[in-house]
Amino acid sequence: MKIVMLGAPGAGKGTQAEMIAEKYGIPHISTGDIFRANIKNGTELGKKAKSYMDAGNLVPDELTVDLVIDRVAQPDCEKGYILDGFPRTIPQAEVFTEQLAKNNEKIDFAIDVEVPDENIIGRMGGRRACLNCGATYHIQYIPPKKEGICDVCGSELVLRNDDKPETVKNRLNVYHEATQPLIDFYKAQGALREVDGTQDMKDVFAAIVKILED
């Protein structure tokens, strides 16, 4: 079961990917997590990725494609995987599809979590992150037990630069220009499935499970 999660930044696809991964016992591969780990560790890749992410722009293809291809070749991906945040562009999708085809593999489902832009701007403005351990919260939907403090490690929570309204608007513009064409790409492959991401989180998950098991 090889799944690609589609949807604008803040549509909730990462949360859904985690739930799917847990239910089916397959790895959730988020390029965002990979980038953030590199940023925290101060690697060269992390420094490059940070400059793009802080401005609300996409990290260039050459920094991502090889990394993801190597990741899905690992033993824990034998039963499948969920890609979250990749591919972001048609060139990425084409290269990735070609690499899979060499092993007689393909993406089984591309699930598009649909949420209007105005909903996303409101959602992401409420996000809070722990820069120490990586835990994430939302002041409305998943609040920490103590306001402004991480439940896991007790560090201060912050509004990340890439969650600020002006950056979110830029990220959404970039998404619509560069990433939305992937919907047509996977539709042409017969892999696209769409779900209403404005529903309750559990209802979105139930809709995705129905897609995967029908």
Superfamily of segment(s) 2-115+167-213: P-loop containing nucleotide triphosphate hydrolases (3.40.50.300)
Query: What 3-state DSSP class applies to 180?
Result: coil
Specify the 3-state DSSP secondary structure of 172. Answer: helix
Annotation says 187 is catalytic = no
Per the annotation, the verdict on 36 as an active-site residue is no
Q: Which of 13, 36, 50, 128 is catalytic?
A: 13
Q: Could you tell me the residue ranges of all domains in the chain? A: 2-115+167-213
Residues with Cβ < 8 Å from 35, sequence gap 6 or more?
Answer: 45, 46, 49, 50, 53, 59
For the stretch 52-107, pLDDT in tens is 888 888 788 877 877 777 778 889 999 999 999 899 889 999 989 998 998 899 99
Q: Is 128 a catalytic residue?
A: no
Q: Which of 2, 88, 123, 193 is catalytic?
A: 88
151-196 pLDDT, tens digit each: 999 999 999 988 888 899 998 998 888 878 999 999 999 999 999 9
The pTM assigned to this predicted structure is 0.74
- Active site (annotated) includes residue 88: yes
